[in-house]
Structure 1
């Protein structure tokens, strides 16, 4: 490519998702943890979630690789291609099946995709944006050969592995109990391409930024090894007051920054994909940004399944977009305060 040529535009051309088992409603969850179903609904705004664990036995029903494989197959089918046409694979997750081998390579193996670059990113809710950012950079790199013109990007988490089901919930502190209400398991995937086919949705801008300089983490998820697995530290903990204070503000900043970068009028953006921490938090965010755009959310039905969420939203958005319509997606990660976003536009044929 000559130095004067424009960089290729990355396009979303297919999407897929995977949710384990039947949805677990608040009544079922209330019976497990000894809380009121109406209180769970009022506090979280999340009605159902999916667990990769049998609630009766505590046995795992799905590994991360299972969900990633299912979501990837769905995205590949939606794009109308064969696995062998995928030139690279990127996976973002906070809950890999192993430290090694990386889950992304297990997924590629199941799909029968070999001799391609693979990448695994360790992150939370913004990991999906980071993975798409990396994919866009690969597609736009003039040094990348034609074999990398189409890629597979996956975001997935099995959060339930950090939540013990066999315990006396009457003695569980509220700061830990809330995690059983908010989190779920799942995977989402997208096929990206240099060419506008399939869903023909151009990624006009990606925002991927660490903004937590000097701030305390809002979320910590531990990794216990053999030497410290009996430690009394909780596996996951959050500062919900800090999250409630910062996430709506950061979400508004993301949408405004994306629109400013592209000189887009926010009032003429057709769809908005807000952060998906919980059903109630999403309501607060949407109320704050107060855009005329149509909201695309899923967390009230799926629970907070981390890296999967933006892909689940994209899976709902892409079939709705018409030629020329625009969408803005925002994701906030409280671990050490990250913000990410996407500006999308459906390209016309011809």
Structure 2
């Protein structure tokens, strides 16, 4: 776990979501689902809206991850009162980059006019947002850099065939249609003094030895024999494991910061779905903490979720407030967490 020896603060946050929010009725109608669709989604999943990078009517991709990352990066820099020329480090976490090469992060850097700086793109599920924060904090703590633009995001809609017969899918596969949305987020970390909460710690750790993946995403190239189904998910395994891993992650953050459960002012829980998030928050045992969640409105947009939560958190933090965030990667089971404190 990185506990910055110097002062690293979050100076600005920005997010980007593609197009207007899509409600369950609209999605169900496009996928040919019957009248019980909305009731099933509400009772089993709890997600009400999501943003998709494709046009539901045509299946055409309207936004790339680079598009969204550029917009989020510009908003984060504007919120921090900085220019792209002030950035001397970039890190990004994503499970679904636009291409294998060039990296999406380097495309975003090019669009922002950033050059001559180290760039690191990390491949991971939802914990990739925190992994990117950890890498940036390590490098800022070393003293070689002053200002990092850290990004996270995913565009999962490209994995879904809008012409599929969704009514023929089993519930385990229907979950993916409902859960996921698209988006990107960015945060400016800097060692320079100014407003914004201090990063008191950030950690990630792999816990997946000898465990089957909870989720897989495949690449599709010219030789389809190298590929399997685009998405597989063991939602029951995820439902069982993530709350336990979230409790473990929170305990690790509190152990390393020396904070007690009752001292947490805000909690940013894992955002699997509306229903699952409520269960996780109850298990975390932070009685005085205000929950900061967004998954009901954004869908599970992967590595963007932490940034959408931070966008809701930062304006609410008053001097002395402490916030703890947790993200869990369920493909090969990674725990992660971070701590912020407003001066």
Q: TM (normalized to structure 2)?
A: 0.95
Q: Is the partner of 2:11 in helix, strand or coil?
A: strand
Question: Matched residues in 2 for 1:51 and 1:315: separation?
Answer: 20
Q: Specify whether residues 126 and 190 from structure 1 end up closer, same or farther in structure 2 by C-alpha distance, changes over 3 A only.
A: same
Structure 1 residue 197 displacement after superposition: 1.6
Structure 1 residue 342 and structure 2 residue 338: aligned? yes
Partner residue in 1 for 2:163: 166
Question: Matched residues in 2 for 1:346 and 1:196: separation?
Answer: 13
Structure 1 residue 185 and structure 2 residue 182: aligned? yes
Question: Matched residues in 2 for 1:103 and 1:175: separation?
Answer: 30
Partner residue in 2 for 1:265: 260
Q: Deviations over 1:47-81 (max 9, x none)?
A: 00000000000000101100000000000000011
Partner residue in 2 for 1:31: 29
Partner residue in 1 for 2:103: 102
Q: Is the partner of 1:53 in helix, strand or coil?
A: coil
Q: Specify whether residues 42 and 229 from structure 1 end up closer, same or farther in structure 2 by C-alpha distance, changes over 3 A only.
A: farther
Structure 1 residue 198 displacement after superposition: 3.3
Structure 1 residue 230 displacement after superposition: 9.0
Question: Matched residues in 1 for 2:319 and 2:247: separation?
Answer: 26
Are the equivalent residues in 2 in contact too, given 1:14–1:198 (CA < 8 A)? Answer: no
Question: Matched residues in 2 for 1:75 and 1:229: separation?
Answer: 42
Q: Is the partner of 2:56 in helix, strand or coil?
A: coil
Are the equivalent residues in 2 in contact too, given 1:330–1:342 (CA < 8 A)? Answer: yes
Are the equivalent residues in 1 in contact too, given 2:261–2:285 (CA < 8 A)? Answer: no
Question: Matched residues in 1 for 2:225 and 2:308: separation?
Answer: 33
Q: Unaligned stretches of 5+ in structure 2?
A: none
Partner residue in 1 for 2:198: 202
Partner residue in 2 for 1:3: none
Structure 1 residue 229 displacement after superposition: 6.9
Question: Matched residues in 1 for 2:225 and 2:172: separation?
Answer: 20
Q: How many residue pairs end up in the alignment?
A: 336
Partner residue in 2 for 1:140: 141
Match among 292, 296, 299 for residue 295 of structure 2: 299
Q: Is the partner of 1:332 in helix, strand or coil?
A: strand
> What value does the CA root-mean-square deviation take over the aligned residues?
1.3
Q: TM (normalized to structure 1)?
A: 0.93
